[in-house]
Amino acid sequence: MAKEAQTSPSTPFPTAGLGPCELSCSHSTTLNFHQWVFWSTFCNGKVHCGKPRAAAAAAAATADSAVIKKQIIRFLQLLMQTIYWKCVVQFWGTVKIGDKTYLTTCDQPFAFRYFTHRDVRKLCEYRKHCLDYLIPVDDEEDEVQLIIGPPGRVFRSGFPEHAPDVGDYTSREYPQRDYAVDRVMGYWALPIYYHLTRHLPISKPRSHINKIGKRIRTALKSPFPRLYT
């Protein structure tokens, strides 16, 4: 049985470096698994992020992110109740830096689901590593297509991508591959909120979230090493 989420409890693990500044969170448990959802606030407009590229992205994201952040947080709280394994769930949102558009997960809500403290330590390490990445999405050169990784490909195509083992990727297909091995297992990338060109809806009612969770669980039983649908 799932226990109702508690808002802003104390975490049993350090959260410094998981976002651009101080994090708020909610916590719930299901079948002895812990589920944490995190989101950041901007500390009176000042971005405290140790990674320069991530800090620039976070600063650029402040103007438009507030409207959808609450919807993403609620989405994550519901989604974490429909999946049954340890994982980190991250959103990648668009930011403008100069005249270029990038995807970043800095200042985007994210979630952990884990059973042991060892599990969450690895998930935290992976989350911090992802903050270094800015993924270009408005460059049509073929070379960029090879290095934008799953979030960039899914954002540009509008179709989900799944690999049951991150080791199945090459480093060019998934730039974080070598760091992800031994920290995360499978990988899902899903276009489930606003898309610049397709104008997909931002929010999803509970029935849609349940369908997403079921689709992920079904795909993880698939014998195919890579799934594009």
Q: Residue length, the chain?
A: 229
- Please name which of 41, 172, 175 lies closest in space to residue 109, comparing C-alpha atoms: 41
For residue range 156-166, list pLDDT tens digits in order.
888 889 888 99
Query: pLDDT by residue (tens digit) across 47-101?
Result: 444 455 555 555 544 444 566 788 888 888 888 888 778 899 998 988 888 888 8
**Residue 125: closest CA among 112, 134, 138:** 112
pLDDT digits (tens, 9 = 90+) for 105-140: 988 899 999 988 888 999 999 999 999 888 888 866
Q: What are the backbone dihedrals phi and psi of residue 38, each rounded to the nearest 5 degrees, phi first?
A: -120, 150
Residue 199: pLDDT band by 50, 70, 90 thresholds? very low
- pLDDT of res. 142: 56
- Mean pLDDT, the chain, integer: 75
Mean pLDDT, residues 210-222 taken together? 55
Facing residues of 25 across strands? 38
Distance in angstroms between the alpha carbons of the first and the last residue of the chain = 32
